[in-house]
Amino acid sequence: MNIIRPSRIFRTIVRVFLLVFTLSLSAVGFLGGFSAVTILDPDSYNINVPDGPIVANLNISDPNSLAIILPFNITNAGVYDLTNIEISLQVSVTYGNQLLGNASTTVKIFDLFHNFGTIAHGTFLKSSINGTATEGFILANIPSPSNIDLTRTPYILEFYGNLTFSASYSLNLYTFTTTILNYSIYKLSP
């Protein structure tokens, strides 16, 4: 008769535990990958940042009226919650600075970061980032109209945006960040 040594019984118990643990981990990884594919499916349009046109009042001659509205729509079609959803938007303006001999100057006039928390699986978040003169705009950096070179070509003012969207997935095991740099928002011709 085969007698199993006690040391082997202990080993088998630990081995089974490790097997279950590894299989669970692999299942989480696989489902996470599957969900990412589902969410990023080009035909499904699950992540729309921006969702439609960016509405902006960039009249720098009246700083108090400055406003930006960035609509977005995120649908979590995967099997896990999307957590730590963070969206940040920076806007910079390039202009000819008369104080510097009409040299092209770029300054950051808007910087807003927002954490939207969590989107449970199967649900969606349709919202917007709203920037106003008191929230987001850096009034100290906004160029004075008297310092702007109005003869600058091809544009007097050029507004560019940097958009960053990040979120965590699969019980925070995956984190992804998407950055769009120098997205043209508005150009003012002479």
The residue ranges that bind another protein (CB under 8 A) are 5, 7-8, 11, 14-15, 18, 21-22, 25, 29, 32, 40, 42, 163, 170, 172-183
Q: How far is the CB of 103 from another protein (least distance, A)?
A: 25
Instruction: Give me the least distance between CB of 187 and another protein, in Å please.
Output: 17
Nearer to another protein, 88 or 102 (CB): 88
The distance of closest approach from Cβ of residue 75 to another protein in the complex, given in angstroms and rounded to an integer, is 15
In sequence order, what are the beta bridge partners of 131? Answer: 68
What is the smallest separation between the CB atom of 149 and another protein, expressed in angstroms? 27
Q: Closer CB to another protein, residue 49 or residue 188?
A: 49
Task: Identify which of residues 128 and 168 has a Cβ nearer to another protein in the complex.
Answer: 168
